Amino acid sequence: MRPRRRPRGWRSRMTTHEAGVEAKITELRALLDRQHAALDELDAISRRQRALIEAADGPGLLSLLKSRAGLLEKAEAGAATLARLRQELELAPPGREALAGLHDRFAAIEGIAGRIAGRDREDEALLCRQRDRVAGELAELAMGRRAMGAYTASGGAQSPRYQDRRG
């Protein structure tokens, strides 16, 4: 007995569920690409931030931090959307082959985010050390001024008004 012949294109037809999952995967891939690009840019800014901190360039650092704030907002919004899409795909899992490349992309993004977070922690510690060093220098200056004031005539002591000059 001969097997029943299937109509042409039967394999390319998707169910509504499959089409929805495929659309989510496409959206997720595009979002992963945008997120990766944003985090690459943040990584570059983070490296420049370190150089500015080490050079004690306060104005340059403030300018850089302003530009970084906008990127951080975009990355945080993207992360929230990624988490939602990831959860939706876990509830209605597509085939393994559809998700094969997505796990690598998630791992790459998590790696970049981890490097940025680690560098930020190091930068924070470096800034704290610099702050403490500057506070120490200011304390030494204040102590030096007080010491100089002890050896100079103070404005409060007046010379005597009446003196016996005849002797």
What's the mean pLDDT when you consider all of the chain? 81
Question: Taking Cα atoms as reference points, which of 39, 22, 34 lies closest to residue 99?
Answer: 22
Q: What angle do CA 63, 67, 68 make, to 5 degrees?
A: 110
**How far is residue 127's CA from residue 137's CA, in Å, rounded to a whole number?**
15
**How far is residue 128's CA from residue 49's CA, in Å, rounded to a whole number?**
15
DSSP 8-class letter at 2 = P
Task: With cut-offs at 50, 70 and 90, classify the pLDDT of residue 106.
Answer: confident
Whether 136 is in a domain gets the answer yes
**pLDDT per residue over 19-69, tens digit each?**
777 787 888 889 999 999 999 999 999 999 999 999 989 899 999 999 899
Q: Which residue has the tokens 């945008």?
A: 34
Residue 156 has pLDDT above 70, yes or no: no
Whether 114 is in a domain gets the answer yes
The pLDDT score that the predictor gives to residue 59 is 92
The domain of 99 spans: 17-151
Whether 123 is in a domain gets the answer yes
What is the number of structural domains in the chain?
1
Q: Which is more confident, 20 or 109?
A: 109
Count of CB atoms situated within 10 Å of the CB of 32: 20
Whether 165 is in a domain gets the answer no
For residues 96-114, give the mean pLDDT: 81
Q: What angle do CA 97, 103, 104 make, to 5 degrees?
A: 105
Domain at 121, CATH number: 1.20.58
